[in-house]
Structure 1
Amino acid sequence: MESLAARAAGCPGRVVAIEAVWDGDTVHDWFVHLMAITDDPAGERSLATIYWGTAVRYLGEERAPGSLHPSAAAADRSGRALAARLSVPFHFASPETPDDEAPRWRP
């Protein structure tokens, strides 16, 4: 959490939301980008990319079989915590199903 908060604090402009966004490729399968959405003209900055293996290590035994994709579960937990810490909204349009075309956050 400390490193995510530090990265968010280094963003140009004021952070107005934290968003989790699906992505994927043939090497890593599905993964989630944790993004800071800012009021700066650049608009967003990646805070972390959460791959399956990293998510499983982060979640440990807390992930129950049949639950969310590990990357989604880790992004949801850490994104909600960071958003609460920054007092901004958290948005994850499709936590249950990987979808790289899910609607993005809008103010």
Structure 2
Amino acid sequence: MVEALWDGDTFHDWFVLLVTVLDDPAGEGRLATVHHRVGGPPPGTRAAEAGRALADHLGVPFHFASPDVPDDEAPRVGGRPGRASGQGHRRPRRQTSTRRHSPVSCWMALRA
């Protein structure tokens, strides 16, 4: 099965993870990360299109519990917890500054 999950952070804002969900052996693997591009469709729309196309190509089901609204607590296939439930992720907060910080400058600020 191919599943789409909302996730996010303060640097990238909301994005969607496309994962494959395996029954045997049990587990999941990350296939792609879909970010928003300026002037492009929302990441949920892009991820739904790509996930559906991949699932159709592979002949497996596709699941995206909340394609239109970012929700990292949306129900997952098989009762798995959402991204925010027990996995240490939090909903992102929008940056109030328009200045972009590099990962290195953020890391340096955290070490200070």
- Normalising by the smaller structure, the TM-score range is 0.5 to 0.7
Q: TM-score, normalised by structure 1?
A: 0.67
Larger Rg over CA atoms: 2
> Given that residues 45 and 68 in structure 2 are in contact (C-alpha distance below 8 angstroms), is that contact kept between their aligned partners in structure 1?
no
Which residue in the other structure is 1:18 paired with? Answer: 2
Give 1:54 deviation, angstroms: 8.5
Q: Distance in 1 between matches of 2:55 and 2:38?
A: 21
Number of equivalences: 79
> Given that residues 48 and 67 in structure 2 are in contact (C-alpha distance below 8 angstroms), is that contact kept between their aligned partners in structure 1?
yes
Counterpart mapping for 1:1-107 below 5 A: 17-53=1-37, 56=40, 63=41, 70-106=42-78
* RMSD over equivalenced CA pairs, Å: 2.0
Give 2:61's aligned amino acid: P
Give 1:41 deviation, angstroms: 3.8
Q: TM-score, normalised by structure 2?
A: 0.64
| Structure 2, gaps ≥5 residues long | 80-112
| Structure 1, gaps ≥5 residues long | 1-16, 57-62, 64-69
Give 2:71's aligned amino acid: D
Moved over 3 A (4+): none
